[in-house]
Each structure stands twice: as C-alpha cells, then as structure tokens.
Structure 1
Amino acid sequence: MATACGGGGSDDTVRFGVAAPLEQFIGSHTLRGAELARDQLNAAGGIDGRAVELVALTDSASTRRAVTVADRLYSDATVLAVVGHVNSGATLAAVPIYNRGLPIVSPVATSPEISDAGTWIFRVCSSDVVNAAGLAEFALRELGTRAAIIYANDPYGRGLRDGFGRTYTAAGGALVEEYPFIEGSTTDFEAYLMGIRAVRPDLIFIGSTDIGAAPVIRQAREMGIDAPFVGGDGILGLAGQGPVFEGTYIGLLYHPDAPGGGGREFVDAYQAQYGAPPDHFAALGYDALMLLAQAVSEVGFDRTRIRDYLEQVGREREAFSGVSGRIAFDENGDPIGKSFAVGRVSGNAIEFVSVEGGS
C-alpha cells in the first residue's frame, strides 16, 4: 500500500516518506498527524514555496516488509527524509538501510536498542528506559509493591520488561512472577495466568502491543483475576474495544489533557479534520514531520545537511518546540527530558491520570 499527494518530487514539491503499518491504527493515526502537518505547511505556502508531499508506505509491522519499504524510500532520490517507523522491531530491521544516507525520525519506536542503531535515526519519543521507569514509579506509588510481568519476547517487550523491572525492584517492589510469550503466535495464556493467579499480585505489567495484551487481559478476567493491568504506549488500541479493558493503565507519550499537551490550536485542528481528539501517535507523527520541515527550511534540500541539522537540535541549534513538548536530541538521537504520562482506559477514551518524569 502506498499513498501520495501532490506532484511527484519535481522542483515544485518537497517529498517526505512515511513508513508505518498503515492498516493498523498505530500507523494510520501516525499518518493522520503527518497529513495535518503537511496540510498546515502547504496552507502557509509550503517550504520555500514548494508544496509538501508525503509518500506513505505500509510496513505492516513486519521486519521483512520494513526493509523493503526502507530500501524503496532510500532508492527514491526525491525523498529527503522519513517519518517512521513506529514499531521497534520494524525500525531496527530497517535502520541499516537508512544508515546508508537517508535521515529518519521515528515518532513512537521506543526500544532502548534504537539508541545505538546508527547516526541517521532520531526519535521524538523517549526510550522505554525512561517510559517503563515512569510506569514502575507510578505502579509502586499507586497500585502496590508486588507485580507480575507478562511480556512479548521482542525488542519492544523486552525493553519494557527490563525498564519496568529494574526501576520497580530498585525502589522496593517485588516481581513475584514473570512470563515471556511470542506476540502473534501465543494464543492460550492459561498456564501463565494460573501461575500469576496463585501469587496474587497487586498489579500485572503487560509488555506488548494491544495485539498481545488483548487476549491476555481477556483471559485473565475470565479466570477471575482482578489485579489492575499496566502497560506501555503499545496498548493504546485497547480503548473502545470493550468493557473488559476498562481501567487498564497505559503509558502515554502525549495526552491532550496533560500539562503542556500541545495547546488548543493543534487539538482543535486535529479534531476538526478527523472528528476525534489526537492520540500520541498522531501528535508525534505531527511533530516528526514539522521538525523535518523546519530542518529543510533551515538547511535546504539535501539529506546529509538535514541529518546534520537534526544532530544539532538542542545543542548547537535551538530545541524544537513540538506539540508533544520540547525536543532536544542527545548524542544517540534520543530526546532529552521529555515527560511521560499515564492514562486509564475509560470507555472509548483514555483519561489522563498523571505525568511521570521529564524536566
């Protein structure tokens, strides 16, 4: 699946790639944010008079497909930079292609492994070293001192598990049970959940996307386990999927009701265009494209100069003021000091609960 608008990379256009699982809401919402940014840029005259065009390709959250998408974007000399990918596994698989010389800004790929993936990748979201630590602090303070963990055995799940477990135990909590699973392959969690039920934890930390979390939570409730579930940003899709997920706590990279949550202008514009408030996929997709547009406006239509500009954001150059907060990159291309919100599933929405970390 590929979508584009505009005139195909002529001297009248500026082309950016968007790489995400467009058939899944995490990808489609990321694209929505980028599209809103594109529309606002073009309404203001584009970049140096050139219309902004998006080349959106689906990676289907597949590592193999992500490599194909990255190669296609890299090989298209008219594409100056890429917004994507959004899944950590897909991002890590694709980065070697981008490291040949195409700058990429990931909106929401949070695996700690990305920090060391190369010099052409940046991200506007904080790593799970930060995010899972914030969730652990919240869980210990608000939910209890005994946690069970069930996590997907992939870069995203392991990053969450490690970050949560390290902070939770260092602060005095106990991990009373722990199980890995293969997301997309494991379908029966009864044996894991029987072990968890036997130790009666105060909470259950789920380190996966909503694809893995949904059957875990559903089976847990069917088995009479009533401990609250806590998970990372990847389970945002549980909202609106049924009452069984009510009360699930979710780590958020952005929430419109959080302090500094993007201001009403962005929220209202997104609501007007799409009929719903923005989630963090949309907000960070928006920020990623706006940051790249600023880079092109400052240094011109050259991949290497764009990469060099990004490397200097927050150091030699001023930090970028995004709807998700201040963005300044460290030496690994990770943002410095971004706060992390906690929300709770409430009907079709995620209600804001608290802000953890940041500066």
Structure 2
Amino acid sequence: MRKNLSNRRGTLLAGGAAVLLMALSGTAVAQAPATYKFGLAMPLSGSQALYGADQVKAAQWAVDAINAKGGINGKKLEMITLDTQADPQVGINAVNRLVSVEKVPVFITAWSSVVRAVAPIANDNKVVELSVGANSPDIAKLGDYVYTTFPLADVDVAAVARYSVEKLGKKKAAVLYINNDTGIVASRVYRDTFSKAGGEIVAYEAYDPKATDFTGALLKLRSAQPEIIHLHGLVGDMPQVVAQMRQLGLNQPITSYSGLYNPKVIEQLGQAAEGIIATSLAPGVSDLPAVASYVERWQKEEKRDPNGLPYTQYLHDAPYMVAAILTS
C-alpha cells in the first residue's frame, strides 16, 4: 500500500509542475532576472512555529542544494520567507507583500485556513500558490492558480474511516475537530465515510482554534461512549487535546491524519500516545533511499527527526519543483 501512495505522490508532483509551467509562461520569469525568486509563507511564530521552523529549514536545504549545483541557468534561486503565524489574516499580509513588493511568480504555503485565505491574491494576480501542507478538500476548488502537492482529506481521512469499521471492527465513533478550514471539511469526510461503511457517529464536536482547555467537548465525547475517536486539529494543538482526553479517561483508540504523525507527539505524550493511529501519505525511510538520507541528515545536524516529518518532506520537494519549472 505504501508503494501505491508513493506513486500517487509522484503523480501529484508531476501535475503540479504542469500547472506551474502554464501559469508562469509569458511572465517575468522569461526575462532572465539576476536571481530567480519564489516566496515561502509559513508560521515562524505562534503556536505552530515549532513545525513551521523545520519546514522552512527543509525548504532551505533544497534551495542550497540547487544553488550548489549551479542554480537555475547559472543564476541563484532565492527563497523569500515571511511569517503567517498559521493565521489567515497574517497570511494575507505576508502573501500581499510577496506578490506586490517582492514580485514573486510563485509562492509556497501551508495550513488550510491560510491556503484558503490567500487564494484570491494568487488568482487575482495570476501568481501560482503551491500548497504543500494543507488537507482540506476545498483546496481543490480554490481557483486556477492554486495547486496542492499534499494529499487532501478525501484520500487519507476517508481511508482511516473505512479502516476503523472494516479492519478494526469499530461501530461507534466520536469526532472532535478544530473549528476552522483544517477541521471542518475533513471531519465531514470522516463522518460521512464512517457512516457509509456501516458505523454510527455518536458525538460530533468542535473546539475553538485558540482554545487550550478542551474539557467541555471531551466530556460530551465521554458521555457518548464511543469505541473510537477521530481527532482533526493542528499539529501544535493535538498533543494537548490527546493529553486531556487521557486525563479524563478517554482511553479509546484515536485516529487522525498526518498532523499527528510526528515523533514529537510521542515525546510530548509518552504513554498517553498509545492507541493513536495516524495516516501519512509520504514515503517512509524504507521506501526511498532519498528519504533515508534526508532523515539521516536531520539526525546528523539536528540530533533528532524533523517535527512533522511528512510535511517537511513535501517542503523539501517544493523548491526542486519550482526550480525545474523556472529552468524550463
């Protein structure tokens, strides 16, 4: 199965390259500037900064490698990085600067609420927005200049919902999701797929994106007595949610997506992480030598795995895609 997911990822990247080529043809890229610029809008501060920092590092490694091999037609590839705080309004400000001031022909970003908020800027200015770390299915409908290389929730979240019923034999599920673009649509995918597979949703609760105490929603889940719980939040808040679940005696298996597929979760939660089932639509170390060497570099230079490994892989790939298109 992992091999099939790797093949799908390759197809997504190829499709993204085609879209970028069409969008960038006839723009300032053809004028051979002193450097080739692209934007990177990621959370460098706020609750998601721990993950954003590693994603920026992964992208910068790729830029450095490209430039070490001669850049693009002998010119440097320059990555201009701005902070979004994983906040839609801050993201809008950052992308407006990238497009209007820095004049980038393409920018990379992540987090579903940010991807959605900045889409009109991309479409109105005919600048390519490349989403590499957001899984709301609505991203596929945001316009001709918005493209994603990251698999959307109708792939992996639907799969884990079916898996819960068909393989784990769970018939009653509770859903807890963050009340923003990351959680709203993805949680519906789980709810609808679990129900179609023959299961019953016994609780369906949302929490505020700025919340730190989830007791109210968790007590409702506990009273519903689910056999399994699906959690769909952000990488920065889900460990807190899981910890509070366990404190309240919610010891059921927990399913989630790539946001909870993270070595940092094990470090933060310890024994409380037992029972978590998280999807990851990125090839593992055993699948591709390039992934193994990538993780080895983290171990060598940082003495750890990257926070949010699947996301950093997509961030590391993205500059290579941009460079390939700008070269052509």
Preserved CA contact (<8 Å) 1:148 1:204: yes
Match of 1:13 in 2: 35
Residue of 233, 237, 243 corresponding to 1:208: 233
Preserved CA contact (<8 Å) 2:243 2:269: no
Match of 1:259 in 2: 287
Match of 1:238 in 2: 265
Q: Does the alignment pair 1:54 with 2:76?
A: no
Q: Does the alignment pair 1:284 with 2:309?
A: no
Residue of 121, 124, 149 corresponding to 2:175: 149
**Structure 1 counterpart of 2:36, which letter?**
V
Moved more, 121-130 or 240-249: 240-249
Map 1:121-160; keep pairs closer than 5 Å.
121-140=146-165, 141-142=167-168, 144-160=170-186
Relative to its length, the structure with more strand (as a share) is 1
**Structure 1 counterpart of 2:140, which letter?**
S
Preserved CA contact (<8 Å) 1:143 1:203: no
**Structure 2 counterpart of 1:29, which letter?**
D
Secondary structure, in 3 states, of the residue corresponding to 2:267? coil
Match of 1:73 in 2: 98
Question: How many pairs are equivalent?
Answer: 287
Q: Does the alignment pair 1:95 with 2:119?
A: yes
**Structure 1 counterpart of 2:70, which letter?**
G
Match of 1:33 in 2: 58
Match of 2:5 in 1: none
Q: Specify every segment of 5 or more residues in structure 1 that has no aligned partner in the other structure, as ranges.
A: 1-9, 299-359
Preserved CA contact (<8 Å) 1:18 1:83: yes
Using structure 2 for the length normalisation, give the TM-score: 0.80
Match of 2:198 in 1: 172
Residue of 161, 165, 171 corresponding to 2:187: 161
Match of 2:224 in 1: 199
Counterparts of 1:159 and 1:69, CA distance in 2: 25
1:247-301 deviations in whole A, cap 9, x for unaligned?
A: 2222223253363484434444454444434511211001111111111011xxx
Map 1:114-125; keep pairs closer than 5 Å.
114-125=139-150
Match of 2:253 in 1: 228
Q: 1:159 and 1:259, CA in 2 relative to 1: closer, same or farther beyond 3 A?
A: farther
Preserved CA contact (<8 Å) 1:256 1:267: no
Q: 1:117 and 1:145, CA in 2 relative to 1: closer, same or farther beyond 3 A?
A: same
The alpha carbon displacement at 1:159 in A equals: 2.1
Counterparts of 1:36 and 1:66, CA distance in 2: 23
The alpha carbon displacement at 1:220 in A equals: 1.9
Counterparts of 1:177 and 1:155, CA distance in 2: 20
Counterparts of 1:79 and 1:127, CA distance in 2: 26
The alpha carbon displacement at 1:71 in A equals: 0.5
Preserved CA contact (<8 Å) 2:246 2:272: no
Preserved CA contact (<8 Å) 2:206 2:217: no
Relative to its length, the structure with more helix (as a share) is 2
Q: 1:204 and 1:59, CA in 2 relative to 1: closer, same or farther beyond 3 A?
A: same
Counterparts of 1:191 and 1:174, CA distance in 2: 22
Q: 1:109 and 1:29, CA in 2 relative to 1: closer, same or farther beyond 3 A?
A: same
The alpha carbon displacement at 1:148 in A equals: 0.8
Counterparts of 1:37 and 1:198, CA distance in 2: 49
Preserved CA contact (<8 Å) 1:218 1:244: no
Counterparts of 1:16 and 1:273, CA distance in 2: 26
Instruction: Among all aligned residue pairs of Structure 1 and Structure 2, give the percentage whose two residues are the same amino acid.
Output: 24
Secondary structure, in 3 states, of the residue corresponding to 2:105? strand
Secondary structure, in 3 states, of the residue corresponding to 2:106? strand
RMSD: 2.2
1:3-29 deviations in whole A, cap 9, x for unaligned?
A: xxxxxxx94422111101023123112
Q: 1:245 and 1:39, CA in 2 relative to 1: closer, same or farther beyond 3 A?
A: farther
1:109-148 deviations in whole A, cap 9, x for unaligned?
A: 1111111111111111111111211221332223622211
Q: 1:124 and 1:273, CA in 2 relative to 1: closer, same or farther beyond 3 A?
A: farther
**Structure 2 counterpart of 1:192, which letter?**
A
